[in-house]
């Protein structure tokens, strides 16, 4: 029942909000309208599913300044949780295939950064576009694993997000998403009620990192932070059982 209600809500709001957003494009150069619609779309979806979002550490960052947020990825609900809990104005780096979806895909491709992971040249252009948007004051969120985990464990990170942060010269903020994997696993249609917790770590200054090797070092540093949070969360849950 929860899946059906969520699907109906998602379809209706997606068509409505995407259409309204497309109509605002000529008058909204900063894409604030998309952020408005995305926030309320996300709130509605979370409300229907009974999912709550808790955020710890948000006071560590200045939301008014641009950042590259780097997160793990375990569920489709990670996106809604970040939009509602962390930053409604953040731009996502998304798969280029999404742009093919009528109305919704057109809206997403205009407001966010689409990337073709199979094409190195296209990926580079997408990251350069993201760097330009950051220079204009936008924050970007990248799921460093590139896809959702199937077993709840962290996958290897890709260095694109870190190269982007170095090129743009803005801090990297590690985000650890906990609880979303148990709410809806990749490949499953079962949606459970629950709490998604987002841990916001201290921004990392990228000025000391340079080129490819610097991106790799930064990537390893962020992965260590997120993995540490995972271990602490798992240990804490086992103690509370």
Q: What is the pLDDT of residue 75?
A: 93
Domain extent for 99: 51-240
Is residue 77 very low, low, confident or very high in pLDDT (cuts 50, 70, 90)?
very high
Instruction: State the chain's mean pLDDT as an integer.
Output: 85
User: Does residue 189 form part of some domain?
Assistant: yes
> Does 44 fall in a domain?
no
Say if residue 118's pLDDT is above 80: no
**What is the number of domains present in the chain?**
1
Q: What is the pLDDT of residues 189-229, one digit of tens each?
A: 888 999 999 999 999 999 999 888 999 999 999 999 999 99
Q: Does any domain span residue 100?
A: yes
Q: Per-residue pLDDT for 115 more than 90?
A: no
CA-based nearest residue to 164, from 79, 93, 227, 99: 93
Token pair 């998304």 is found at: 94
CB atoms within 10 A of CB 36: 17
Q: What is the CATH number of the domain that holds 201?
A: 3.40.1130.10
The structure tokens 């040249």 sit at 121
């Amino acid at each position: 029942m929860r899946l059906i209600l969520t699907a109906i809500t998602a379809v209706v709001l997606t068509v409505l909000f995407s259409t309204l957003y497309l109509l605002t494009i000529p008058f909204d150069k900063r894409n604030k309208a998309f952020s408005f619609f995305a926030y309320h779309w996300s709130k509605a979806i979370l409300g229907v599913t009974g999912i709550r979002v808790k955020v710890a550490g948000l006071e560590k960052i200045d939301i008014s300044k641009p950042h590259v947020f780097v997160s793990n990825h375990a569920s489709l609900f990670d996106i809604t949780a970040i939009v509602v809990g962390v930053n409604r104005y953040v731009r996502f780096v998304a798969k280029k295939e999404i742009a093919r979806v009528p109305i919704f895909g057109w809206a997403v491709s205009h407001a966010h950064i689409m990337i073709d992971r199979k094409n190195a040249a296209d990926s580079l252009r997408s990251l350069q576009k993201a760097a330009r948007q950051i220079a204009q004051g936008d924050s970007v969120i990248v799921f460093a694993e590139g896809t959702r985990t199937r077993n709840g464990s962290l996958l290897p990170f890709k260095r694109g997000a870190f190269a982007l942060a170095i090129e743009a010269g803005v801090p990297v903020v590690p985000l650890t998403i906990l609880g979303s994997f148990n709410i809806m696993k990749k490949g499953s249609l079962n949606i459970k009620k629950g709490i998604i917790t987002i841990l916001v770590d201290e921004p990392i200054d990228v000025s000391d990192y340079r080129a490819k090797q610097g991106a790799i070092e930064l990537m390893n540093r962020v992965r260590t932070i997120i993995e540490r949070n995972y271990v602490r969360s798992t240990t804490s849950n086992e103690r509370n059982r």
